[in-house]
Amino acid sequence: MTRKFFVGGNWKLNGTRDFVETFVPILNASPSENVEVVVAPPSPLIALVRGRLREDWGVSAQNCWKVAAGAFTGEISAELAKDVGAKWVILGHSERRTIFHESDELIAEKVAHALAIDLKVIACIGETLAEREAGQTLDVVYRQLKAIAGKVSNWSGVVIAYEPVWAIGTGKVATPAQAQEVHAALRTWLTSNVSVDASSSTRIIYGGSVTADNCNELAKQGDIDGFLVGGASLKPDFVKIVNAKL
C-alpha cells in the first residue's frame, strides 16, 4: 500500500501574531506535491494560523486533555482545539513525557478521547539515550505503542511519530539505518499485534533534529513515511523538508 508522505511542523512554545503574519505567507507560496502537511502552533495561535494558512495544509494542537471540560486550569480540550480550527493533535511528545511526567496510560486516554471526537492524532513514542545505550529501544517503543494501540479501533486517524529523545533538539540524528530499523520493527509489531491492514496503512514518521540537510536521506528509507519537525519548522527551510520526497 502506498502511504502518503506526512510532514508535521511542531512550533512548540514559539511564535507570535507577528510571526504568523510574516512566516505563513512563505509556507503558502511553497510547493507541496503529494505530501500531507500539518502545522502545530501554540494553542493561542491555532485560530489565527488556520485563518491565514493555505487550505490544503492542516493545523494541529500540541496537546489536549482527556475530557471535554472541567476544573483543569491551563489545559486545552480536544473539543476546543477542534472548535478553533485544529484537525490534529500531537500526543505523547517526549517533552510531555519527561518534563510533565505524562504516563503511557494518560497518553493513551488522551488519544482515545481525541479520536472519539474525530480529532486525528500524531502519537509520539521514543527512547532516551540511557535506554538506547542499555539496548532497550524496542522494549520502550513497544511498551509505549501497546498502550496507545489499546485505545485505537480505527487507525486511519493516527500517525505514529518515532522520536528518539536523545535526538530531539540536540543536533544529533539517528542515522537513516538506525531510524529505518526502528520504523520497520514498529510496522512488524503492528502486523503481529493489531492487523496487517493497520501495519500497511499507518504512517510512521521520524522526529529528531530533522533539517533540510538530512531529510532527503531519511526520506529514502522504506518505512519512514515523513517527519515531525521541531526547530526547523520555524524557518523557511521547512519547505525543503516538506518536499524531501520530490
Q: Please choose, from the candidates 152, 153, 149, the residue with its C-alpha nearest in 3D space to the C-alpha of residue 190.
A: 149
Q: What is the mean pLDDT of residues 196-202?
A: 97
242 Cα distance to chain centroid: 14
Q: What is the CATH number of the domain that holds 218?
A: 3.20.20.70
* Residues with active-site annotation: 93, 163
Distance CA 101, CA 85 (A): 28
pLDDT digits (tens, 9 = 90+) for 93-140: 999 999 999 999 999 999 999 999 999 999 999 999 889 989 999 999
88 Cα distance to chain centroid: 9
- Of residues 169 and 219, the one with the higher pLDDT is 219
Give the structural domain span for 59. 5-242
Residue 1 has pLDDT above 70, yes or no: no
CA triple 67-164-210, angle to 5 deg: 100
pLDDT digits (tens, 9 = 90+) for 36-67: 999 999 999 999 999 999 999 999 999 999 99
Q: What is the mean pLDDT of residues 173-197?
A: 95
Q: What is the mean pLDDT of residues 138-153?
A: 98
Distance CA 239, CA 144 (A): 31
Q: What is the mean pLDDT of residues 202-221?
A: 95
**E strand segments, the chain:** 5-10, 35-40, 58-61, 88-91, 120-125, 158-162, 203-206, 226-229
Distance CA 161, CA 204 (A): 6
Residue 171 has pLDDT above 80, yes or no: no
What single-letter amino acid sits at 114?
A
Domain count, the chain: 1
109 phi and psi angles, rounded to 5 deg: -65, -40
Long-range contacts of 46-49 (CB under 8 A, 24+ apart): 46/81, 46/84, 46/85, 46/86, 47/84, 47/85, 48/17, 48/20, 49/20, 49/24, 49/85
Q: What is the mean pLDDT of residues 186-215?
A: 96
Say what the pLDDT of residue 146 is.
98
Say what the pLDDT of residue 218 is.
95
Residue 86 has pLDDT above 70, yes or no: yes
Q: What is the mean pLDDT of residues 129-153?
A: 96
